[in-house]
Amino acid sequence: MSGQLDKTLQKVSDFYDREIPQTVKKVFAAFEPVMIVILAGIILLVAVSMYLPLYSSLGQLGK
């Protein structure tokens, strides 16, 4: 049992060298669609805030 510390630490290091990048990829893969939806919502909000006054003004011209 004694003298195994270096081998054990190397195994732990190898495990985390494999596991952490995979976990980070999974988290970013799950987060990417959420960011796309948020950005689409922001773009929609900007577009509506630009066109709503325009349509309102055009409606007033017709009267």
What pLDDT, on the 0 to 100 scale, is given for residue 1?
Answer: 55
pTM: 0.57
Mean pLDDT (whole number) for 8-27? 92
Q: Cα separation of 14 and 12, whole Å?
A: 5
Question: What is the tens place of the pLDDT at every residue in 18-62?
Answer: 999 999 999 999 999 999 999 999 999 999 999 998 888 887 887
Confidence of residue 9 (pLDDT cuts 50, 70, 90): very high
SS (H, E, C) the chain: CCCCHHHHHHHHHHHHHHHHHHHHHHHHHHHHHHHHHHHHHHHHHHHHHHHHHHHHHHHHHCC
